[in-house]
Structure formats: C-alpha cells, structure tokens
Amino acid sequence: MSTVRLRGCREQKYNYESLPTTSVIIAFYNEAWSTLLRTVYSVLEMSPDILLEEVILVDDYSDREHLKERLEAELAHLPKVRLIHATKREGLVRARLLGASGAKGDVLTFLDCHCECHEGWLEPLLQRIGDEETAVVCPVIDMIDWNTFEYLGNSGEPQIGGFDWRLVFTWHVVPERERKRMRSPIDVIRSPTMAGGLFAVSKKYFQYLGSYDTGMEVWGGENLEVSFRIWQCGGTLETHPCSHVGHVFPKQAPYSRKKALANSVRAAQVWLDEFKELFYHRNPHARLESFGDVTERQQLREKLKCKDFRWFLENVYPELHVPEDRPGCFGMLQNKGLQGLCFDYNPPDENQIVGHQVILYTCHGLGQNQFFEYTSRKEIRYNTHQPEGCLAVEAGGESLVMELCQDLVPENHYFLLLSDGSLFHEQSKKCVQAEKKSNDKFVPLLWDCTLSSRQQWFFQEQML
C-alpha cells in the first residue's frame, strides 16, 4: 500500500505541535456494521493522537438493529469516539451539522461512513488549513472494491471535480492551467467542486461561510452548493495529493434519493444567477419541484458579498462549456412526420458517452437523454452530460453517431437547421430523415433531400 502516496508525500515531515486539531464527523444512515467500524478504526489508527480531538458519529435515525445497543457497546471502550442519535431523520446535511455543533477541534473533517483512511491522510489536510484558514481541503478519494472490500488505491493522477448543467457532479483530469500553477506534484490542486463527502475545513471558517443549507433533505446537491459558496465567497477548494482516503461505492444506497433534485434547485436559485436557466432547460421538471424558502441563503450571499456565478465560471471553471440556449434551438428535437418521436441518445455508460448511434424514441419531455442544443457554430450538441457530445456522421456512413465536440467544428459535425425544418448535413449534402429500423425502432438517417414531413424537425423546450 506504500505506493498509494507519492514519494514526496511519504518524505514530508510535520511539526505536530503547530498543526490545528480536528474533530472527525461521520454521519450515517443504516450503514452496514463492517464498513462503519472500518471507518472508525481507520480514523483512530491512522490519525496521530495529538491531532485527533474526537470522532463524532451521527446516527441519522437508522432503524437497523445493529446500530443501536450493539454499536453503543462496541464504541464504549473508545474514549475519543462519541455517538449522537438524531431524534428524527435529518438527511446528511443536518446530520453532519448536528455533529459539527458540539465539535471541539479547530478543524472539522467530514467523512462518509464507509471509508478507510490511509496512512498519513490527516497531516496534509491540517497543515494546509493551518497555513491558510480559508482553504477547504479534500483528500484524494481512492476506490475500495465493492465486492472484495479491497483497498484498490487510485489509478494514476488525482482528478478534480466539475459538474454538468443538470448540476450533476463530474470528475475531470487536472487542466493544464492548474498544472502550471502548482509548484510541485505535492502542491494542492484547485478544484471547482468537491464530491461532497470527504473534506476538512476550519471550524471558524465553516461557520463564517454559513456551514450548510439546512433546507436540503436526505442526499444530493449540497456538494455543489458548498463548492460554489466556497469559491464565490472568497475561499478556495482544493485536493491535497498527499492525503488519501478510500471510499466504497455501493451498487445501491440503503435509502431513496428522490429529494436530490429539489436540493439542486435550491443551489441553482441561490448561486447560479441567470445561468440557472441552463439548468432548468436540461431538467424541465425541476421547475415543478417545491424547494422551500431560500431567502436566508440569498441574504447570506449578500452579507458575505460573494462574487457572481459568471466570475466563478470564468475564473474557477473556464473549461466548462457554457451553452448558448438560443430560443427555439434547444430541448427535444422532434420529427414532424412521425409525430411524438424525438432524438434520443442513451450511452450505456455515463463515463463513456461517445461512439454510439443516435435513435428516435417517444418524446418524454424530461430533458436528460433527449436534450440537444443547436449552436451558432452549427453543431447539434448533446450537452446535458460532460464531456459534451456532438452529432456526427462517420465517413461514408448514413447513420448519426455521437462524437466528442471539438474546439474547431469538424466538417462532419456541421448541420444546418433550415427555416423549412430540414436538417441538412453539409459535408454529405444529405438531409436527416426519420426512418423505421425494425418493428417499433426508429432512427434518424441521412437521405437525399426531399423536404418530406419526415425530413422536418423542430425543437420543443418541454411537453405542452
């Protein structure tokens, strides 16, 4: 396991007396016994005693039997560990805050309840915050195998966090501009967003920043909300390449995550300014969510004199493509002849979006995999996801496939959506036609232009 960290990290020396102390806060809901205990024991074993003030476990009103007396008894002989029980289901945001409210350390370190802290994980986080109080610092998140529970480590370099316009968190390679800024491979890596579960922050600074949005329920959205807030209100969000923590990605969470969209709406309402429309266009049903009251969070933004979202995009996340969303040029791309059929692209793996054929499917009006944008550069962009796909025709091909969008639009990505509704592919001089493939499978295909109704297309923002 010694190869998990870079050599420079392993050789680092710390002056323990001068580092801030930390309270580690772990909220859990219905977690399995072994993964929860592995988290707790790895914190105790891998953290220098002098730095670890306490471990605060917050039981978010779990109902599994092993998390009651049996857990109390297990933890009773661990002097640094405290267990708090929520008296109702709070969701991860309020559960974490319940833990934070009585924390005595200088720094709050949040962890998920199925982690394993690697040797030397804590010192770099505390050192960085000791040097710079407004730095919020994440460890590198290593993988723990879901089947064998083996600590797999991290393949290659740490990645940074981003998001797509549905407000879904994404991972990215470290961009060139950030590599240039870093003074060495063991320097912190600035990241536009965090995954959410694993980070350290000065307790004082966390309070100053407005901790968390307590209007967020259960799961989701809080990670991007806190990321936007950190950057827009004067802090920095970083990953420390010397700090490693493993995390289990379960196939299914032990609870439902359907509140996540309302949480994202809260984040969008408070932090995105005019860019929130881009989010709503890709999640039309988000407009129907009841998301509660956000005036307090808007007042917080005023009080802290936070910068606007445009500043964030230009300075913190310039790699993110900002869609144009011109009126009439985004949404479902529907066929006129075969009414009710829309462009549809459903890559089997969200992390490998290109290379598959675009099909036609019953229009559903939910954005997502039926959302396309016609740009002023004459691309049909599939830009709900990251990285963004562009509609393309392979050389000599007649079907429509997805390729990665390019800075300079390649000829085979070039489409003209004309006022008569035809979708003209200039390179092949053909028009896109809705065609029946088999029984009830339809696809868009290149065809000689006839302007038949099956060669006419129009964008529709949402279902009427």
Report which of 201, 196, 199, 209 is spatially closest to residue 239, judged by C-alpha positions: 199
Closer to Mn ion by CB, 111 or 401: give it.
111
Closer to ligand LR7 by CB, 21 or 154: give it.
154
Radius of gyration of the chain (CA): 25
Chain residues binding ligand LR7 by CB under 6 A are: 27-29, 31, 60, 91-92, 95, 112-113, 141, 195-198, 218-220, 222-223, 247, 253, 255
Residue 223 interacting partner from ligand LR7, Mn ion, none (CB closer than 5 to 8 Å by kind): ligand LR7
Residue 107 interacting partner from Mn ion, ligand LR7, none (CB closer than 5 to 8 Å by kind): none
Q: Which residues contact 380 (CB under 8 A, 6 or more apart)?
A: 333, 343, 372, 373, 374, 390, 391, 415
Asked, as a colleague might, if the bond just before 284 is cis with ω within 30 of 0, I would say no
Measured from the CB of residue 280, what is the shortest distance to Mn ion in angstroms?
Answer: 28
Measured from the CB of residue 250, what is the shortest distance to ligand LR7 in angstroms?
Answer: 7
Closer to Mn ion by CB, 106 or 112: give it.
112
Secondary structure (3-state) at 24 = strand
Closer to ligand LR7 by CB, 54 or 60: give it.
60
Measured from the CB of residue 38, what is the shortest distance to Mn ion in angstroms?
Answer: 13
The two structure tokens encoding residue 420: 């008569």
For 102, other C-beta atoms within 10 Å of its C-beta total: 11
Closer to ligand LR7 by CB, 7 or 257: give it.
257
Measured from the CB of residue 453, what is the shortest distance to ligand LR7 in angstroms?
Answer: 45
Q: Which residues contact 87 (CB under 8 A, 6 or more apart)?
A: 61
Sign, Cα dihedral of 218, 219, 222, 223:
positive
Residue 95 interacting partner from Mn ion, ligand LR7, none (CB closer than 5 to 8 Å by kind): ligand LR7
Measured from the CB of residue 23, what is the shortest distance to Mn ion in angstroms?
Answer: 20
Closer to ligand LR7 by CB, 61 or 458: give it.
61
Chain residues binding Mn ion by CB under 5 A are: 112
Residue 149 interacting partner from Mn ion, ligand LR7, none (CB closer than 5 to 8 Å by kind): none
Residue 316 interacting partner from Mn ion, ligand LR7, none (CB closer than 5 to 8 Å by kind): none
Residue 400 interacting partner from ligand LR7, Mn ion, none (CB closer than 5 to 8 Å by kind): none
> What is each CA distance from 408 to 150, 412, 414, 418, 450, in whole angstroms?
44, 11, 11, 22, 30
The number of CA neighbours under 13 Å toward the Cβ of 300 is: 21
- 351-357-363 Cα angle (round to 5): 90
